[in-house]
């Protein structure tokens, strides 16, 4: 089990206040790493993050503000990381945005989806991820070691099934934005690109692509989604911890450029 020990490592997790952020943060802390939790300026600190801060203290868990699309803010966060917990050796590119169903029930037909909606999703999920990697993995490359885990999605590999969402009140029926899957497919390709260019400097780059993660979905969605999954259920936090630690640790020392699907078999059909 020493292969999974991250004692002495320093991890940076972007989008740390999001749905999956605390899962990655806690897994890394439990494995021995110190963590810099990075999120946009003005993002409220969630209850789960407060729990982790109380449990591990400021010597192991600290936070910083930076927009994934603003290089100057990212470079300031990198310097803060160095000064507080040390130079980064692990980067979890978790920050990303989607466009969930509107609260007012207003949807768009395919030909009506706003250009700006697609552009913003692509900007944050793909271009922003690349920029974050330039800053933090660049520092790792100069130090001669590191690992980057890009958080993808099952929708990098398959198109969203509109039937999973057709019970949601929306006029016209809700469509998951096309740019979300396109941006996650871009993440998979960027992983291959970055893995090739950073390998000579001792930095590995991989994608971890979760399937649907349990967390407040309505019963009808859960029923339909679970019927579509060979393992018959949605993912839990425990399902994601092991794959993350595998990619972050020496257990995957000869693994780079892959897309690790953690989807209960959703994409086999």
Return d(Cα 43, Cα 18) in angstroms, integer: 9
Instruction: Please report the pLDDT score of residue 1 as a whole number.
Output: 79
Cβ within 8 Å of residue 11, ≥6 positions away: 28, 33, 34, 35, 36, 88, 89, 90, 91, 92, 248
CA nearest to 203, candidates 145, 259, 250, 160: 145
The answer to whether 108 and 179 are in contact (CB under 8 A) is: no
Q: What is the pLDDT of the chain when averaged over all its residues?
A: 96
What is the pTM (predicted TM-score) of this model? Answer: 0.97
For 168-214, write each residue's pLDDT tens digit: 999 999 999 899 999 999 999 999 999 999 999 999 999 999 999 99
Q: Over 90: is that where the pLDDT of 103 sits?
A: no
Overall domain count for the chain:
1
Instruction: Please report the pLDDT score of residue 239 as a whole number.
Output: 98
Cβ within 8 Å of residue 232, ≥6 positions away: 226, 264
For 216-232, write each residue's pLDDT tens digit: 899 999 999 999 999 99
Instruction: Please report the pLDDT score of residue 74 as a whole number.
Output: 98
Neighbouring C-beta atoms of residue 41, cutoff 10 Å = 10
Instruction: Please report the pLDDT score of residue 236 as a whole number.
Output: 97
**Which residue's structure tokens are 């271009």?**
127
What's the mean pLDDT in 101-123?
Answer: 93
Per-residue CA distances from 251 to 3, 84, 194, 244 (Å): 5, 27, 20, 11
Domain boundaries, position 9:
2-268
Q: What is the CATH number of the domain that holds 220?
A: 3.40.50.720
Cβ within 8 Å of residue 145, ≥6 positions away: 89, 202, 203
For 40-68, write each residue's pLDDT tens digit: 999 989 999 999 999 999 999 999 999 99
Instruction: Please report the pLDDT score of residue 146 as a whole number.
Output: 98
């Amino acid at each position: 089990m020493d292969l999974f020990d991250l004692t002495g490592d320093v991890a940076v997790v972007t989008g740390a206040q999001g749905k999956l952020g605390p899962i990655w943060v806690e897994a890394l802390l439990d494995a021995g790493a110190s963590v810099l939790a990075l999120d946009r300026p003005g993002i409220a600190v969630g209850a789960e993050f407060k729990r982790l801060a109380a449990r591990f203290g400021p010597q192991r868990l600290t936070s910083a503000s930076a927009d994934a699309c603003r290089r100057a803010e990212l470079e300031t966060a990198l310097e803060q990381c160095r000064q507080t917990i040390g130079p980064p050796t692990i980067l979890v590119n978790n920050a990303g945005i989607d466009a969930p169903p509107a609260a007012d029930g207003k949807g768009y037909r395919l030909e009506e989806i706003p250009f700006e909606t697609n552009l913003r999703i692509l900007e944050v999920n793909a271009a922003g991820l690349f920029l974050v990697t330039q800053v933090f993995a660049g520092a790792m490359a100069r130090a001669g070691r590191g690992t980057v885990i890009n958080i993808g999605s099952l929708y990098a590999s398959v198109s969203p099934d509109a039937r999973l969402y057709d019970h949601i009140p929306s006029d016209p029926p809700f469509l998951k934005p096309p740019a979300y899957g396109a941006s996650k497919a871009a993440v998979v390709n960027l992983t291959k690109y970055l893995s090739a260019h950073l390998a000579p400097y001792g930095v590995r780059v991989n994608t971890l692509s979760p399937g649907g993660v349990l967390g407040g979905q309505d019963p009808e969605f859960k029923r339909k989604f679970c019927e579509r999954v060979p393992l018959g259920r949605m993912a839990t936090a425990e399902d994601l911890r092991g794959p993350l630690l595998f990619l972050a640790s020496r257990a995957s020392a000869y693994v780079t450029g892959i897309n690790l699907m953690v989807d209960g078999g959703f994409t086999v059909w």
